[in-house]
Chain A
Amino acid sequence: MINKNEQISPFLVFFLVLKVQMGIGVLGFQRIIIKSAGNDSWIAVILAGLLFSIVIWCMLTLLNLHKQNLMGIHTQLFGKVLGGILNIIWISYWLFMGIAVYRTYVEVVQAWMFPQINVLTFSIVFALLIYYTVSGGFQVITGICFLGVIIPSYLILTIFFPLEYTDFRNLLPVWNHSYKEIALATKNMSLSYLGISTLLMYFPLIKQQKKANKWAQLANIITTLSYLLLIIVSIGFYSENQISRYVWATLSFWSIVQVPFVERFEYIGIATWVIFILPNICLFIWAATKGASVLFNVAPNKITMLYLVILIVVSLSLKNRDQINTFLNYMSYTGFYLYTVYIPILLCLSFIMKKKEVMHEN
């Protein structure tokens, strides 16, 4: 049923998961969690990482049970009508996640580099790039994800520049926040890990699906470690009230970077960030396309085009920081509940259904 040319090796799941987990959130997640957990934020980062390790396990158990993607599971469990409605919810979630990532990036460009940039023309050029990648099929997207991890990975070296001004004493005293504050921070932190749900769509395309769990978990560990490194340096580098003023704390690291050949490093960093977020947008748009084309039986390329028009229209209509923030908050909370509530429930339901089937047969 599945075209051999579309399949990928299990180790590539590592890049797919890592890439989609570390997206636009890297630029400014610090402010949101430090607001509630202060110097204990690093605990929240680890807890959120553990939480997502469980979510990944849930997803893969669910997928291994059914051997098909989320669309198929929905129709199998809930029938055509209810399943179809649930499918539409997930499809729109992926589509709007893609838009959220894109709009946040444009906002960074507007705030840091070109305040007067014409968003329409920029979006059209970017949409062409997305169309090219998505219409190339899943293997092309996997390739872009691979490059999206490898090419920007040099940016990790810039973490050495702020070290000159960090005071790790700020991490002390450990655990001087209440459980409630840490839990709230964990919830807010988990918003930076979202994106992994695309796994629910591409799972049938993986060869040797049993091995996928190992690679997905490894990717989750690497994500957690990267966030941990960033938050620890941020806590040392900024004082608590100071960080609450920076929307993009990671970007502000770069304004401390001084290298002889370039005066302002942010310009290089933000330009590299295109390669960092392109795979995320493509993967979300691809998942939404795939779902809709099966559901409505329309050619995928037409759907992608429609999505890109929606992407351009929505990004143009979100005008200021406030609107973008509200939009992002809605997306984050929807995502959070989809992952931590909906998926475990779905897993339980499918367990019960399977058991019934087995009993029926006996």
Chain B
Amino acid sequence: MRIKMILLTSMMTLFLSSCMNIEPTVLNEINIATAISYDYIDKDHFTSTAVTPYYLPDKRVNNVTFTATSSLSKDVRQRMNQQTDKPIFSGKIEVVLYSKELAKHDLIRMTDTLIRDPSIGNTVYLAVVDGKAQDVLIKQFGNVDKGTYLSNAIEHNIQSGILPKTNLHLFSYAHNSEGMDPFLPIIKPKNGNPIITGVALFDQGKFVYQTKDHENIIFKMLVETSSNKEGFSAKLGENLFASVYNISSKVSYNIPEPMTNSPIMINLKVEAVLREFTGEQPDKKVIRTIEKKMEKELKQRAEKLIVKLQKLEVDPLGVGEQVRTRTRSWNKDEWKSLYPTIPFQVNVNFEILESGAVE
């Protein structure tokens, strides 16, 4: 009796598990898309391109792209599948690119599918392409998988370059929070080689502004407590330049009277190492003047940037969030009208820790 039961149970378990209708997805029988791009056609339609790497026997990587046009991105997948012998899967997508044209209309509609689809991770990088998004994926370059290449490029620029932390989750976070607007990295294809040029700022879901070269570093400093291996330089006087690197910065807000148009103080504490100096031996006094100059330079850049953001009525720094968490009389609409009128004051405390290996 007992043995019969055991046999019956194990047989049932064995056979039933195979009838669970779970689709096997064997690695070399599917196309693993690693990056996807979207380009604008008209109000309802877009072109989508997916890239999947093919690893050839001689260790080369061939990036194959599929392109289709539709109004819903899952329809696009259907059309792409019609072009290939193996089904395309989206589980390993690392980067999603949108053309600037598309971003100008509305990205929220486009990112909805990424959030809804549980097979796509929250750490996917989104980026805006200055030009045709397709170009970044279609042009063959180097011997690497496109998606991984782009994802690594963005990642190292977050860790030590000009980009603040960004991914799908943070984009959705900023878009959904009441006192903050999202931003994304912006990429420019140059002969098929993607170059990260700065940050694209959004008003809710609509692209409005692209940061310039000199704004990138200060933008990162203002957005988050960051460390930055790259440096920046400032002109101290006639033929006198100094440049610093290994910058670590910390931003904090001082809002004495939230939800009024009294000034908001932003304190920036920056520590760095002197990398290049065109003058004489930098002694204590010289270093102090360099610090002073740098403070002035950063303050100017920051205040200029903030005024620009106020004019655009976008708040990628999350000043609204800082105010919201400091007051009980938060009102989203009132803040929206208040934001452009508030005077900002940036206080920079710049400290040079080391002056390199020479004295």
Contacts and interface: CB of A to CB of B under 8 A. Distances in A.
Interface string A111-146: 110101110011011001000100000000000000
A114 B21 CA distance: 9
Q: For chain B, which range describes its interface: under 10, 10 to 19, 20 to 34, or 35 or more residues?
A: 35 or more
A256 B121 CA distance: 7
A290 B328 CA distance: 53
B27 to A, nearest CB: 12
A121 B91 contact: no
B321 interface: yes
Given A170-B325, A173-B326, A242-B177, A118 B20 contact: yes
Nearest to B15: A121
A264 interface: yes
B172 interface: yes
B11 to A, nearest CB: 11
A241 interface: yes
B356 interface: no
A239 interface: yes
A111 B325 contact: no
A242 B176 contact: yes
A240 B121 contact: no
Interface string B168-184: 01101110111010000
A325 interface: no
Contacts of A125: 12-13, 16-17
Contacts of A112: 118
A172 interface: yes
A121 B123 CA distance: 34
Nearest to B14: A125
B122 A252 contact: yes
Interface string B328-345: 100000000000000000
B19 A118 contact: yes
Nearest to A168: B325
B9 interface: yes
Nearest to A238: B173
Contacts of A111: 118
Contact of B91 (A132, A245, A264): A264
B38 to A, nearest CB: 21
Given A124-B12, A125-B13, A242-B173, A255 B121 contact: yes
Contacts, number: 88
A116 B22 contact: yes
A128 B177 contact: no
A162 to B, nearest CB: 9
B312 interface: no
B199 to A, nearest CB: 18
A250 B205 CA distance: 26
A128 to B, nearest CB: 6
Contacts of B19: 118, 121
A126 to B, nearest CB: 10
Interface string B18-41: 011111000000000000000000
Given A117-B22, A245-B115, A165 B170 contact: yes
A333 B115 CA distance: 31
A165 B325 contact: no
A360 interface: no
A118 B21 contact: yes
A258 interface: yes
A361 interface: no
A264 B165 CA distance: 21
Nearest to A111: B118
B325 A239 contact: no
Given A165-B170, A264-B91, A240 B328 contact: no
A180 interface: no
B118 A258 contact: no
Nearest to B258: A173
Interface in A98-121: 111-112, 114, 116-118, 121
A181 interface: no
- Residue of A167, A255, A256 with most chain B CB atoms under a 10 A cut-off: A255
Contacts of A242: 172-173, 176-177
Interface string A234-264: 0000111110010000011001101000011
B87 to A, nearest CB: 14
Contact of B13 (A128, A245, A251, A258): A128
Contacts of A266: 118
A165 B118 contact: no
A165 B169 contact: yes
Contact of A173 (B22, B91, B169, B325): B325
A239 B328 contact: no
B177 A240 contact: yes
A116 B20 CA distance: 8
Contacts of A122: 20
B325 A169 contact: yes
Given A118-B19, A176-B328, A239 B122 contact: no
Nearest to A176: B328
- Residue of B17, B118, B326 with most chain A CB atoms under a 10 A cut-off: B118
Nearest to B318: A167
A170 B321 CA distance: 8
Nearest to B253: A169
B92 interface: yes
A271 to B, nearest CB: 13
B254 interface: no
Interface of A: 111-112, 114, 116-118, 121-122, 124-125, 128, 132, 165, 167, 169-170, 172-173, 176, 238-242, 245, 251-252, 255-256, 258, 263-264, 266
5 contacts: A111-B118, A122-B20, A125-B12, A170-B325, A264-B91
Of all A-B residue pairs in the complex, the 7 with the closest CB atoms, nearest first, are A239-B177, A242-B176, A241-B176, A172-B325, A118-B21, A255-B122, A121-B16
Given A173-B325, A240-B176, A241-B177, 11 more contacts: A117-B20, A128-B12, A167-B321, A172-B326, A238-B176, A240-B178, A242-B172, A245-B176, A255-B118, A255-B120, A255-B123
